[in-house]
Amino acid sequence: MKFLFINGVNLNMTGRREKGVYGTRTLGEINARVAACFKGDECEFFQSNIEGEICSRLHAAQDEGWDGIILNAGAFTHYSYAIRDAIAAIDIPVVEVHMSNVHAREEFRHTSVISAVCRGVVAGFGADSYILAAQSFKL
Ligand code: DQA
């Protein structure tokens, strides 16, 4: 299968920021672990701190034949109607991912403006959230 993993704002700091929440593995290490889990599949990894770049990556994905997109939009999750509309604009199923259990954290993290246009949500399993989300496409 073909999987596109998209990480949004501040996820490039994973492993260096709030280690008690997000762990000590860098995003590169997390991606390498994900790729190792899906050896027989095609995986591409994209990260941007810029909302519009994430929208553009989602638009471009429409014609690239992905089976699924695994998206951790970071804080954009909680307020980006632009990313929500970009997800709604494409036919590829998107699974929303969070490493932390956002529902056990601050109130503002309990709201996701993208969940309603995603196939499902995986949250709270650390770096394994990405693996569980991609696995869902194989069920
Ligand atoms: C996050 C949760 C968000 O609330 C936060 O802004 C992030 C990371 C997670 O992976 O747990 O940057 O998406």
pLDDT, tens digit only, all 139 positions of the chain: 999 999 999 999 999 999 999 999 999 999 999 999 999 999 999 999 999 999 999 999 999 999 999 999 999 999 999 999 999 999 999 999 999 999 999 999 999 999 999 999 999 999 999 999 999 999 9
Q: Is 22 a catalytic residue?
A: yes
Q: Are strands 120-123 and 94-98 parallel, antiparallel or unpaired?
A: parallel
Q: Is 59 a catalytic residue?
A: no
How far apart are the CA of 55 and the centre of ligand 1, in A?
A: 18
Cα 71 to Cα 135: distance, rounded to the nearest angstrom: 14
Residue 31 burial class via C-beta count within 10 angstroms: exposed 0-12, middle 13-18, buried 19 and up: buried
- Cα-trace Rg, the chain: 14
Ligand 1 pocket residue status of 98, Cβ below 6 Å: yes
39: which DSSP letter?
A: T
**Whose C-alpha lies nearest to ligand 1, atom 8?**
74
| Separation of first and last alpha carbons in the chain | 12
